[in-house]
Every structure is written in C-alpha cells, then in structure tokens.
Structure 1
C-alpha cells in the first residue's frame, strides 16, 4: 500500500510543480505579488516532496489528499495550465 501512495504522491507532486511553474510563467509577479509568492512556495514544496517520494520516504495519505486538492484546484481554476501538458 505504501508503494502505491508514494507513486501517486510523486505523480501529484510533479503535476503540482508543473502547474505552479506554468502559472508563474504566465503572470507578472509585480502585478500579483502575494499570489506569485504562494505559487513559488507551492512549487518549491512540491519539488521537495517529489524528491522525498523518489527516495522512498513514507507518505501520509493526508499528504496525498493535499496534493490532489492542489491539482484539482489548479485544474478547475487555471485549466489553461494543463492544456499545454496534455497536448
């Protein structure tokens, strides 16, 4: 069960990281500094979590749900981010 959670978490972290970086590429940090800062923090945290998942770190099911929630938010509110990924 843990290997499934680690695999799903690694995939979700990669999606979160890609969505955050793609969103940051589209906006100007000067126009929306707080939103930009939050997406920078999300991208850095997703990368760190991705690296830990690759090293086999134990993953909590709550962490997987958190990452899934961020991906669903990005998909629902910023659907153009995933249009480039899915092509």
Structure 2
C-alpha cells in the first residue's frame, strides 16, 4: 500500500502488530519515520509518543465510517458516495 502513494509520508503510525525491525528499516529507507511502539518483549525503540497517542482518533473515525457502510452500499456502490453519506450521517449524529 505504501508503494501506491505518490510521496512517502512523514510519519507512518501503526500498532504493535507491525513492530518488526525489518518493517521499521523499510520505512526509514523510504524516508518515513515509523511510529510503532515495541512489543512488550522487545527492547525500546525511538517512537514519538505524541503521534502514537493521536492514533485513536483515526481508529475512531474508521469505526464510525464502518457503522454507515451497510446504509451506503445498499443505495450506492461508489466509494465517493459512501464517504459522503457516512460523513453527513456522522456530522448529524454528533
């Protein structure tokens, strides 16, 4: 998925499931900074905690969008219409 991006992102935020030295090294080689906490049995690595703390905002956004997936896919089959319906519904819900 990272290969499809036009430019490497500044930060790549992942959960502990992606905490491998090979993946971190690949991100550094691409020009991105990995924001991945180490697994509990791994040694500490440099990770900007301010960026990792905000990861839950993105997780919550995807959770809210998934709530509206069945409504959007029932009426429209395109990704753009799904995002429009889900964003509007989430705005009115809040």
TM-score category of the 2 structures, normalised to the smaller one: 0.3 to 0.5
Normalising by structure 2, what TM-score? 0.32
Query: Normalising to structure 1: TM-score of the pair?
Result: 0.34
Which structure: greater helix fraction? 1
Structure possessing the higher relative contact order (Cα contacts under 8 Å, 6 or more residues apart): 1
More strand by share: 2
- The structure whose Rg is larger is 2
